Structure 1
Amino acid sequence: MAKAKKLTVFERGRIVELHKQGLSQRAIAAEVGRSKKVILHFSKDPQGYGTKKSSGRPKKISPALSRRIRMAVRQDTGRSSSQIKAITGADCSPITIRRHLRRKGFKNKKRLQRPRLLQRHKIARLDFARSTKHGTFKGGRKFIL
């Protein structure tokens, strides 16, 4: 289950005032619009509320690094994850970058392996088109391009 947002400064002040007025935790929760549990935990230790360090493994990719990775992909979609790592200076593996991009909605597709279309290829194609400009179908009917 997802965590709710922390109490704002305004909500904290409101809880303290309502507590001084002698309202019950249930009444305060209804007035503020938050759960009874959060009111209970805040009223037990108002100074210590929200100061507990979050447990768990820290993320390898920070929000700033995430933006740099996505910008590098948008600039050139043909880059490999190793190239993206080198460009962004990420301190993680290429697999982590691929996983991150997949979570952000990018699909990894392998590029088709084709030779580059050079100027001589373009000229050869034009020459071929000009030479076969007038031709015939198998049935003997003529066509003009």
Structure 2
Amino acid sequence: MEFITVLATAGGSMSRDGLHHRIYERDISGSTLPTLAYRARRLGISVRYEALGRRYSLAESVTVDALEVLRLLKEGKAADALILYRGPCLPESDSPFVVSLRQTIEDKLVRAVLDSGDQELIKAASRMIDHWELAEPAAVGDDPFSAVLSDAYLRSMGLSFGEQR
């Protein structure tokens, strides 16, 4: 999925070297990217390799939830983005691309939720995303579940507001 997500983020096409550097921080076997393309094909996603330009491309557009979340946020639809967000993108990966994508999604989602001023949305987001800016208002709110989760998160960071109540 990481291979597909990188291609989708790049508009459907990227050089072999570009894929290599975004997914891996080290040298890889010459068969690694062809193997990832093969696995994508086995999932039913048509991936082509253009030898002349040394590029991989998706034969058709694909929908990636993480990119849809970013699209919804860009359109100002914070509640819809939060509904679609199911947690960190590709949680098993630590590639430069995925780490950056995760951070971008989380930062933009937190900002959009806070900017909405919708306390219910902030509570819902605080249950899904560990972020101090969400935890502060949720920890002192009237929802005991969000308050407990948020207070525990803040305590783990040494920032508990529990003593102030």
- Please report the TM-score for the alignment, with normalisation by the length of structure 2: 0.28
Which of the two has greater helix per residue?
Answer: 2
Q: Which has the higher contact order (CA 8 A, sep 6+)?
A: 2
- Please report the TM-score for the alignment, with normalisation by the length of structure 1: 0.31
Q: Whose radius of gyration is greater, 1 or 2?
A: 1
